[in-house]
Amino acid sequence: MLLHIPDVLDATALARSDALLKQADWTDGRITAGSQAATVKNNLQLPETSPVAQQLRTLVLEALSRNPAFFSAALPKRIYPPLFNRYGGTANAFGNHVDNAVRTHPATAQHVRTDMSFTLFLNDPAEYDGGELVIEDGMGGRAIKLPAGHLILYPAYSVHRVEPVTRGARLACFSWLESMVREPQQRELLHELDMSIAALRSEHGETDAAVRLTSCYHNLMRMWATV
């Protein structure tokens, strides 16, 4: 499932993000790449321990915790502490790669199985040319370039890349998450059911049918979720 979630960061959060990014001290993006990805990765990244990264991380995690669409689709159990990258100049692309199946945080040694990945765009796409996130889907790939504050959620097992940035700079947050529901088909079914229940309630109120469907949703969660 690929899901576009708009307005994860509102105007206030984006202004705060922009101010912090102006203070960024970037380093080689290969510091967090696996052995295969490191051969095709050419971008810049904020060190995980930098004060700017820590403040941005708090900003993003608070926004994600308030977003019902993100929770419904991802059902997050653990989120790897978000990272931040920059594409532009001579460090401007990331070739085809697959994310590592497990990420281990260097400070806490906590393991995160990477069921899903996300990219949260942090600057206006008019500020740069290129920089599309391309996710291979067997049909030649889907190119994604979203407004600032918008997020794309996608399977971590997919082959994906970032096209070269030929003008300006592309700034983004990215990370991986372990879901309470491991199987993608089960997550998709739960998300569709959750969205359908919300639409039914919006149109008809708290009907008996909505209550029964809600019961089905939570009973499926009991069957499939691990917490």
Say if residue 185 is exposed, middle or buried (CB neighbours under 10 Å; 0-12, 13-18, 19+). exposed
Calculate Rg over the CA atoms of the chain.
Answer: 18
Residue 107 is predicted with a pLDDT of: 85
What 3-state class would DSSP assign to 19? helix
Please provide the distance, in angstroms rounded to a whole number, between the alpha carbons at the two ends of the chain: 22
Indicate the Cα dihedral angle 219, 220, 225, 227, nearest 10°: -20
List the domain boundaries for the chain. 3-179, 184-224
Residue ranges for the chain with pLDDT beneath 70: 33-35, 37
pTM of the model: 0.94
Residue 178 near residue 76 (C-beta atoms within 8 A): yes
Separation of CA 62 from chain center = 14
Residue 33 is predicted with a pLDDT of: 65
Q: For residues 212 and 220, give the distance between their C-alpha atoms in angstroms, rounded to a whole number.
A: 12
Residue 106 is predicted with a pLDDT of: 86
Residue whose tokens read 């930098």 = 50
> What is the Cβ-side half-sphere exposure of residue 86, based on CA atoms within 13 angstroms?
20
User: In terms of DSSP H, where are the helices of the chain?
Assistant: 11-21, 35-38, 51-65, 68-74, 184-204, 208-224
Q: For residues 42 and 36, give the distance between their C-alpha atoms in angstroms, rounded to a whole number.
A: 13
Residue 34 is predicted with a pLDDT of: 64
Q: For residues 44 and 186, give the distance between their C-alpha atoms in angstroms, rounded to a whole number.
A: 36
- CATH code for residues 3-179: 2.60.120.620
Residue 79 is predicted with a pLDDT of: 97
Residue whose tokens read 């060190």 = 47
Q: For residues 212 and 196, give the distance between their C-alpha atoms in angstroms, rounded to a whole number.
A: 12
Residue 18 is predicted with a pLDDT of: 97
